Amino acid sequence: MFTPMNQLVRLGQAISEWPVASQQQARRNAMIALTDCAQRRAEREDVESFLAERAALRDAATTGGTTAATDAGVAAHA
């Protein structure tokens, strides 16, 4: 049964709960964004490391020598 008083009570509850629900949703969104940023940063660092090792291997191949860094890079990505 929906009486005007019940409707007002329900409206009052919804209005009073809205800031809490909004803050919780914002926190969830921020945590998801932070996780996504951390994953992208880790991937970007991994790609940067891989490309640096490949460049070192290329440079070593053109000069005819190897370095400890290139040997470690080969082992890390083998």
DSSP 30-63: HHHHHHHHHHHHHHHHHHHHHHHHHHHHHHHHHH
- Output the pLDDT for position 4: 87
21-66 tens-digit pLDDT: 999 999 999 999 999 999 999 999 999 999 999 999 999 998 876 5
- Output the pLDDT for position 71: 57
- Output the pLDDT for position 72: 59
- Output the pLDDT for position 73: 58
9-18 tens-digit pLDDT: 999 999 999 9
CA–CA distance, 1 with 67 (Å, rounded to integer): 82
What is the reported pTM? 0.57
